[in-house]
Chains A and B, each alone.
Chain A
Amino acid sequence: MSKGNSKRGVTRRPSKNSSGDLEFVQLLTPQGEPIKHPDYSVNFTDEEYRALYRDMVIVRRLDAESLSLQRQGELALWASLLGQEAAQVGSARALREKDMVFPTYREHGVLWCRGLDPILPLKLFRCVNQGSWDPESHRFHMYTIVIGAHALHAVGYAMGVTKDGKVGSDDGEAVIVYFGDGASSQGDVAEAMSWAAVFNAPVVFFCQNNQYAISEPVERQARIPIYQRARGFGFPGIRVDGNDVLASYAVTRAALDAARHGQGPTLIEAYTYRMGAHTSSDDPTRYRVDAEVEAWKAKDPISRMRAFLTQQQIAGPDFFEAIDEEADKHAIELRERVLAMPDPEPVSMFDHVYPGGSPLLDDERAELVRYLESFESEGVR
């Protein structure tokens, strides 16, 4: 994919845009009209534009299927990404293969773009394992459930990248950490930003401000816009329309390039909205009003991209229909695979605790095996 233009060193002041008073980088209005920005732009081929749309439709469809599976008792929990497709797909497609990702438990769209099997998070939320992918193979770390903890992991990793001498050229590596507006209130995130600034770590803090920390609205968590916090730590912060996949791509691309060239961290606040519940255990109607949700529906990331593709004659009804069909196919396959998923062997819980095993765990495993064998028939339900 092509590169977003950036002007590092120039004051990054977000400009006014079509969404009223809010200041953020936007390249596509909610109606799908392309707009120019002095610092950021994209230069995609038609094929690449269509691919972004396809990514967003598929991750939304898989997300909906996963939520249904939770409601049907097949998953213990699901954290839906509905509404945040553009922020995730745009930023993830800006990554290079070597860049490292530290996600939260909602980054199903990023996981998809990194080329991981979309069944993997469902195994985690079905509780058949603790997350079973190799973080190295797709450069995508485990989902972190502890809010904000992985910001420290990411900064530590990024400091290691510097020590390995892998920054400072166009060939450099960058690290991105995803978190939410709620996590930005965590001490861990503040510590991570302090360290990242002081050590000039090649890390991009990608905050999806989806407006709610579960039920707590963002205005009760921060006195200033979240991106402005970066200034206090000593690195640039920028806000992007998180429902605009093109702007999310361009801004993230620029921040990653800055990091890989040794120019240090950037905080990106992707201004978006969680259209669904925090997780399947949450009921958003208890703390927010329908009118607010309706207002955000008009800014939907997928319908915006679809309008753009239609207006620019990059894609037509046949294409959209084909993508919907493909997404349905993926969803059906996902469902079948979940239903066919075997329950884990109880002893498998010991498998991935320490890379080289541990005498205590070995004893405990042996004890559990003995206990299980004391029953007359096999297996334990």
Chain B
Amino acid sequence: MSRVKEFKLPDLGEGLTEGEILKWLVAPGERVKLNQPIVEVETAKAAVEIPSPYAGAVIELYHPEGSTVEVGAPLIAFDTDPDAGPLPTPPASGENGAGAEGGAAGGRTPVLVGYGPRQGSARRRPRRGTQARAEAPGATGDTAAAFPAQPSVPAPPAETTPAVPSGPATAVGSGNGTRPVAGLGTLVEPGTPAPPRRPAPALAKPPVRKLAKELGVDLHSLVGTGPGGSITREDVRAAAERASQQVPGPGPAEWGPNRERRIPVKGVRKHTAENMVRSAFTAPHVTEFLTVDVTRTVRACKRLRSMPDWQDIRVSPLLLVAKAVLVALRRHPMINSSWDAERGEIVVKEYVNLGIAAATDRGLIVPNIKDAGRLSTRELAQALNDLVTTARQGRTTPADMMGGTFTITNIGVFGIDTGTPILPPGEAAILAFGAIQKRPWIHKGKVRPRQVTTLGLSFDHRIIDGELGSRFLHDVGRFLTDPETALLAWD
């Protein structure tokens, strides 16, 4: 056996077809032990670490982080005997090259029987000449036709017969590489006569259905190129691409007969509703407003952005609002507290888990930055960036959303002046940050165009009196009016 071994991406979860490389945990040249984690891969089901199937040295990583790899595609090459001197020939990248043996045991691909990617039809072994052909006249090599004609196995109806391209031309690759060809689905053109509508549901795996839903593709409008006429990811992507090139018309509204639509309450919407009701009817809310001139905050953001070591990070006024809140919380720790009704106690927290309300595709979620009070401004900016990116990708974990102590809701991004936010359960105060707009403002005795915003602070009146709430809000406002002085004076 060759000392060079390739490892192919296995099916990590019962019928998956691909995975995304999240992170390589090893680098070329590095020595690895058997079962040492080598890579983090995320599939439609889970993000998992793959342990190394070999001991030896890493020769090559075939795919960069962030790329999507099909199940069965070579992932990494190992030298299983790195102490035996230099390798005779380097393996060809991405395919089973000279001297490389795929699979974990004597050329066995780690894709199990019945799992993994579809095989190109060129892999099919030839039938014994005449007899089989005589039994199945017109056999074209696809599965349905290759079975001997049996009355008990009815042929698929004509309109559902998949347009499977047959013959060796559909598969590429050399050696024992069996990379399926990305077949493009045939989108039914709007101008051409529509085929008879298929009564059966469209054949597609759940991840493909999800993709179609996300891209707004109607599966029934596609003819699949996958096994048995099923619709593949490529079919959906191709259809979405075509659709994006057409001018979108006004979509037909899906109203019921009484011109109403009923949407089941579930998931994030349900969770949000329950939390809001619980909070609104247990904590007596008070909301106060303060309109402030934040011109200096806006300028401070600009100056931060121009600093060399802040180039790679997004800076928005939200960062300074967060900083203002953290500085003000230190001056008024009672704001950072919660009401423990069960034990009849007020819990004041030394740590600040700063929640940021985020509108996502899944609905409103409030992840928080853990122990934000201990972060430097630069670290805080990084944490804010990460939090927003994670939320947008829909990867926020339950842990990210638990244990918040104070929340900022940035409704200004929607162009809104201010609002009366409802407290997240377990928190004593929440700050609404409105839109920053140029308005006429008295500045140094003259009316000037200044950057102005309105802050709205809701707080739990069981814990926080009007005086304390007012002092806190006033401090946040003063910070934003003159961040440099506030930092020097209070931080």
Contact check, B398 vs A73: say whether CB atoms are below 8 A apart: no
B49–A71 contact, CB under 8 A?
yes
Residue pair B399, A289 in contact (C-beta under 8 Å) = yes
If over half of B's interface residues share one DSSP class (helix, strand or loop), that class is named, otherwise mixed; here it is: loop
**Is A72 positioned at the interface, with any CB of B under 8 Å from its CB?**
yes
A33 at the interface (CB under 8 A from B): no
* In contact, B104 and A343 (Cβ under 8 angstroms): no
Q: Which residues of A contact B399 (CB under 8 A)?
A: 285, 289-291
List residues 1-28 of chain B with CB under 8 A from any CB of chain A: 7-14
Instruction: Pick the residue among B11, B45, B105 that contacts A340 (CB under 8 A).
Output: B105
The contact of A283 among B48, B104, B105, B148, by CB within 8 Å, is B48
Shortest C-beta distance, B271 to chain A (Å), equals: 13
Whether A127 and B8, one on each chain, are in contact in the complex, defined by CB atoms closer than 8 angstroms, is no
A276 CB to closest chain B CB (Å) equals 11
Which chain A residue lies CB-closest to B9? A73
Tell which of A73, A282, A374 touches B111, judged by Cβ atoms closer than 8 Å: A73
A325 to B210, CA, bound (A): 47
Report which of A65, A282, A374 forms a contact with B131, defined as CB distance below 8 A: A374
Known pairs A127-B113, A283-B47; A374 contacts B14 (CB<8 A): no
Q: Which residue of A lies closest to B54 (CB)?
A: A72
Contact B127 A281 (CB under 8 A): no
- Which of these, A126, A289, A375, contacts B112 with CB under 8 Å? A126
Whether A73 lies near B125 (C-beta < 8 A) is no
**A119 on the B face (CB < 8 A):** no
Are A73 and B46 in contact, CB atoms less than 8 angstroms apart?
A: no
Select which of B10, B48, B51, B148 is within 8 A of A371 by beta carbon: B148
Given the contacts A68-B51, A73-B8, A127-B112, A375 and B104 also touching, CB distance less than 8 Å:
no
Complex Cα–Cα for A294 and B110 (A): 33
- A282, A289, A291: the one contacting B46 at CB < 8 Å is A282
Residues in B neighbouring A127, C-beta threshold 8 A: 112-114
Q: How far is the CA of A132 from the CA of B420 in the complex (A)?
A: 66
- Give the residues in chain B near A282, CB-CB below 8 Å: 45-46
- Out of B53, B126, B402, which one reaches A289, CB within 8 Å? B402
Contact A286 B397 (CB under 8 A): yes
Instruction: Find residues 275-308 in chain A having any chain B CB closer than 8 Å to their own CB.
Output: 277, 280-283, 285-291
Within the complex, which residue of B12, B109, B127 is in contact with A376, where a contact is CB–CB below 8 Å? B127
Please tell me the size bucket of the interface on A: 35 or more
Task: Report the bound CA distance from A261 to B30 in whole Å.
Answer: 62
Number of A-B contacts (CB under 8 A): 94
Is the CB–CB distance between B398 and A280 below 8 Å?
no
Which positions 68-115 of chain A face chain B at CB distance < 8 Å? Answer: 68, 70-77
- Is B443's beta carbon under 8 Å from chain A? no
A374 to B47, CA, bound (A): 43
Contact residues in A for B131 (Cβ distance below 8 Å): 374
Specify the chain A residue showing the minimal Cβ separation from B16. Answer: A281
- In Å, the complex CA distance between A339 and B106 comes to 9
Residues of B near A286 (CB, < 8 A) are: 46, 397-398
Residues of A within 8 A of B7 (CB): 72
> At the interface, yes or no: B273 with Cβ under 8 Å from chain A?
no
Contact partner, A375, options B12, B126, B397, Cβ 8 Å:
B126
Is A377 within 8 A of B125, CB to CB?
Answer: yes
Residues of B contacting A65 with CB < 8 Å? 35
Residues on B with C-beta less than 8 A from A380 are: 125
> Which residue of chain A has the shortest Cβ distance to B35 in the bound complex?
A68
Tell me, yes or no, whether B441 is within 8 Å of chain A by CB.
Answer: no
> Once the chains bind, are A280 and B114 in contact (CB under 8 Å)?
no
Asked if B310 is at the interface of the complex by the 8 Å CB criterion, the answer is no
* Alpha-carbon distance between A277 and B43 when the two chains are bound, in angstroms: 15
Instruction: Specify which chain A residues have a CB less than 8 angstroms from the CB of B126 in the assembled complex.
Output: 375-376
Chain B residues in 8 Å Cβ range of A72: 7, 10, 50-51, 53, 104, 110
Residue of B nearest to A277 (CB): B46
Are A73 and B47 in touch, CB under 8 angstroms?
Answer: no
Contact pick for B104, options A73, A367, A381, CB 8 Å: A73
Quick one: given A280-B13, A287-B398, are A76 and B112 in contact (CB under 8 Å)?
yes
Which residues of B lie under 8 Å from residue A285 when comparing CB positions? Answer: 47, 397, 399
Asked if B128 contacts A375 (CB within 8 A), the reply is yes
How far apart are the CA atoms of A282 and B13 in the complex, in Å? 8
A220 at interface by CB-CB < 8 Å:
no
| B148 partner, pick from A73, A291, A370, beta carbons under 8 A | A370
Bound-complex Cα distance A376 to B127 (A): 6
**What distance in Å separates the Cβ of A344 from its nearest Cβ neighbour in chain B?**
9
Within 8 A of A (CB), among B100-157: 104-105, 109-115, 125-128, 131-132, 135, 147-148, 150
Cα–Cα distance between A73 and B9 once the two chains are bound (Å): 8
- The distance from the CB of A61 to the nearest CB of chain B, in whole angstroms, is 11
Partner of B48, one of A71, A126, A376: A71
Q: Is the CB of A376 within 8 A of B128?
A: yes
Give the nearest-CB partner of A379 in chain B. Answer: B125
Bound-state CA distance A204–B397 (Å) is 39
Interface residue ranges, A against B (CB under 8 Å): 65, 68, 70-77, 126-127, 277, 280-283, 285-291, 339-340, 343, 367, 370-371, 373-377, 380-381
Interchain residue pairs A-B with the least CB separation, the first 5: A73-B10, A73-B110, A283-B46, A281-B13, A339-B105
**Chain B residues with a Cβ under 8 A of chain A:** 7-14, 35, 45-51, 53, 104-105, 109-115, 125-128, 131-132, 135, 147-148, 150, 397-399, 402
Between-chain CB contacts (< 8 Å), 11 pairs: A71-B12, A71-B50, A73-B111, A127-B112, A280-B48, A281-B13, A281-B14, A283-B45, A285-B397, A370-B148, A381-B113
